[in-house]
Structures are given as structure tokens and as C-alpha cells.
Amino acid sequence: MLPAIRTIGALLVIVLSLSSSCNAVGTTSTAVSSLPTLSPTHQRQTSTLSIEYYDSEPHGNSTSPVAILIHGFPYSIDTYVNVVPKLTAQGYRVIVPSLRGFGGTTFLSPTTPRSAEQAALGKDVIDLMDALNLEKAIFAGYDWGTVVVNVAAALWPERCSGMVAANSYLIQNRETAWNVAPATSFPVKWYYYVFLTPFGYSSLANDTKGWADVLWSKNSPNWTFTEGELDAASLAFHNPDYVDIATNFYLNRLLYATGDPAYADLANQLDKQPVITVPSVTLDPDQAVVFPVTDGSATAKYFTGPRVHHIVKGCGENIPLQEPQVFADAIFEVSRLGD
Ligand SMILES: *[C@@H]1O[C@H](CO)[C@@H](O)[C@H](O)[C@H]1NC(C)=O
Ligand SMILES: *[C@@H]1O[C@H](CO)[C@@H](O)[C@H](O)[C@H]1NC(C)=O
Ligand SMILES: *[C@@H]1O[C@H](CO)[C@@H](O)[C@H](O)[C@H]1NC(C)=O
């Protein structure tokens, strides 16, 4: 089944366009009546969340190989709008969940800590698989999604038939979080530090779309994304926990926020930087700025199974939205590696 294009009320889109400060894209003044979004979405409860997800086979089909695609920040499931049809055409069942704090993924309890620590994000994928009775799947992601698929593949290899990850391996050992950083890292990771502050929090809260525009432009400098792509993603930022989750990711990674005690054991395992044993395809875009392109050799020690590394030329950090065929091909390749 092909993803339908969700039609958005023209009035809403006009309002979004008027509030745009985007200079990186073309026709901002033209009202659009539909956005490149994945729909319909469904909801499934885990012990902590009601997770929103797109499912190309919502009634299940135990014979289809399953791919679970994880988006980054500040992006949405709609990152994968052009990847999904390429996978379904080859017989895959494709599931694309909204991360906690994004889109329709909400917390069941007001008292659950709004933690975006790596252990929680990875466990959410496994919890969703349990809720959907899925035993095994290919996990694929970029940006925050790389952290998520690294964690899920490393800690639950029996649930993962293969992993596709931009930037290879981003599981963090908290003991190194305060290592002296090179001066050159600050101009590219500047927003990590902004989000540690009340100024960063209030600015993101006031203008989630403006922040996405800035980060998309700065982190993928040669990418001419469309106003429609930005508007589609921005819909996912209207979640009551979005700002808390977005800023907590950086607070937690830089040790300014402790994790949720419910994930302490998993978090401790991740500090040991567990290896990834499942077949893996890793992709380094050569025009991403936060994680500069590599030949993959520095991260080879984290992969003990078959692993292929590619450099993606002419691409910024969001490979699935910018180069959907490359991302889909990586999933087909990891599937063959596992045969
Ligand atoms: C289930 O998936 C297989 C393999 O992709 C496909 O051939 C078959 O038509 C699917 N069945 C249903 C009911 O969708
Ligand atoms: C708050 O966000 C709106 C757009 O949503 C923007 O027009 C306004 O300038 C922002 N205020 C500040 C102080 O940045
Ligand atoms: C953007 O493209 C130009 C021209 O192709 C190139 O010189 C420049 O290095 C690219 N920027 C990045 C960050 O890769």
C-alpha cells in the first residue's frame, strides 16, 4: 500500500506559511493544500506511552519482512514519505513511529519523567514491537534515530535482523561526556549548548518551526528542502512534551539532567558501549556538518557482524528525505547481508 498524502486544511497551511522565516526555500507565499506526510497513523500503548506510528500493513502480514524507520530531531515520521513506497514495492512491511514527544506519541502519566535519554528511546522501539507482536525487524535511522537504532540493535540483537545507521555508532559513554572538546566542535554543536539554557528552552518553545528551519539549513547547508517538507515536519512539534524532550536529549547527553531511574540498568549497559553484532550498513553523508564524513574505520571496533560503510555524496544529515533511494537501497543491502 502506498502512503496516502494527507490533505491539510488550506487555512492551517496559510497560517504556517505566514509565520515562516525560512529563506532557504522557494515559494513560501503560495498556499499549499496538501503536505508530504505519511498517513494514516495508528496508536498503540506501551507501559509508558501511547505511540503514534505509520504502518504500511496495519492488519499485519507475518510473511513480510519488517522495517522500522526512526526519525531524528527536529524532524518527523514524514522524513520517510519517499522511502516507504520503495520498500513496500519490494514486499516490506514498514513501520514508522513518532519518537516520544513528537507527533501523536504521548505519555500515559503526567508523572513519568520526560526523559529523552538514549536507553529510553531505544526501549520505546522494543516496547512498540512487543505491542505489535513483532519478533524481528530491520532498524534504520539517522540523527537521533541513529542513537535509537544503535541502542535497540546493541541491547536486543535477537529482535533485530539488520541495522542501517547514518554516522555509524552514536551510543554514548557518559564518562566521556565532559572530556575536553576541540574548539572546532563548538561552532557545529552550538545548539547542544543553547538547549542547556532557559533562553534556548523559551526560544524553542516560542518558535519550533523557526528552529527547525535554522537547524535544517545549518546542519545540511547544501540541501534545498521545500516549504512543504518543513511544514509537514512542523506539525509533529505541536506535542505537549516536544520542548521538554528536545532539550532533555542534550541536557542528558551533557550530564545536566539525570535519567529516569526506570532505565538505569539499561543506561549502565550503554556506558560500556556494547558492540553491534547484527548485519549493518552505515552511511556517512559528506555534506553533514555535526558529524563530519568518515571512511568508517574509526567505528569498526563497534561492529562484530557483517558491516558495509558508504559515503553518501552531495547529502546532508537527513539522508532519507534528501536521498530516499540511497536510504532504501541501504535497507535492501542490509537485508542481503543477513542472508
Ligand atoms: C503478505 O506479504 C507477502 C510478501 O510481501 C505478499 O506476497 C502478500 O500478498 C501479502 N499478503 C497480504 C494479505 O497482504
Ligand atoms: C516567537 O515566534 C514567532 C513565530 O512563531 C515569531 O514571529 C516571533 O518573532 C518569536 N518571538 C521571538 C522573541 O523570537
Ligand atoms: C556545498 O556545495 C559546494 C559546491 O558543491 C561545496 O563547495 C561545499 O563544500 C558544500 N558544502 C558542504 C558543507 O559540503
In a domain, 252, yes or no: yes
Residue minimizing CA distance to atom 12 of ligand 3:
287
How far does Cα 275 stand from its chain's mean position? 21
- pLDDT tens string 126-184: 999 999 999 999 999 999 999 999 999 999 999 999 999 999 999 999 999 999 999 99
Q: Is the CB of 287 under 6 A from ligand 3?
A: yes
Q: How high is the pLDDT of residue 22? A: 33
174 burial (CB, 10 Å; 0-12 / 13-18 / 19+) is: middle
User: What confidence score (pLDDT) does residue 33 get?
Assistant: 44
Position 338 scores a pLDDT of 84
Q: Which of 63, 66, 93 to mutate to test the pocket of ligand 1 (most atoms within 8 A of CB)?
A: 63
CATH code of 162's domain: 3.40.50.1820
For the segment 90-94, the average pLDDT, to the nearest whole number, is: 97
Could you give the number of structural domains in the chain? 1
Which ligand is located closest to the Cα atom of residue 234?
Answer: 2
- Which domain covers residue 244, as residue numbers? 3-23+35-168+185-338
**CA 299 to CA 308: how far, in whole Å?**
12
Q: How confident is the model at residue 152, as a pLDDT? A: 98
Q: Is 175 within a domain? A: no
- Identify whether 134 is part of a domain: yes
In which band, very low, low, confident or very high, does the pLDDT at 61 lie, cut at 50, 70 and 90? confident
Going by pLDDT thresholds of 50, 70 and 90, the confidence category of residue 20 is very low
| Ligand 1 center–CA 292 separation, angstroms | 40
Q: What is the DSSP letter of 7?
A: B
**Cα–Cα distance measured from residue 144 to residue 284, given in angstroms and rounded to the nearest whole number:** 14
| Ligand 1 centroid from CA 160, angstroms | 21
Does a structural domain hold residue 176?
A: no
Q: Is residue 29 part of a domain?
A: no
Q: What does the pLDDT read at residue 13?
A: 31
> What is the pLDDT at residue 28?
35
**Is the CB of residue 218 less than 8 Å from the CB of residue 194?**
no
Domain contains 272: yes
Distance from residue 61's CA to the centre of ligand 1 (Å): 6
Instruction: Establish if 178 belongs to a structural domain.
Output: no
pLDDT of res. 10: 31
Q: Has residue 215 been placed in a domain?
A: yes
Contact 333, 308 (CB under 8 A): yes
pLDDT digits (tens, 9 = 90+) for 246-268: 999 999 999 999 999 999 999 99
What is the average pLDDT across 289-307?
97
Q: What value does the mean pLDDT of the chain take?
A: 91
Distances (CA, A) of 115 to 150, 170, 260: 18, 18, 6
pLDDT of 88 strictly over 90: yes
Ligand 3, atom nearest to 286 Cα: 14
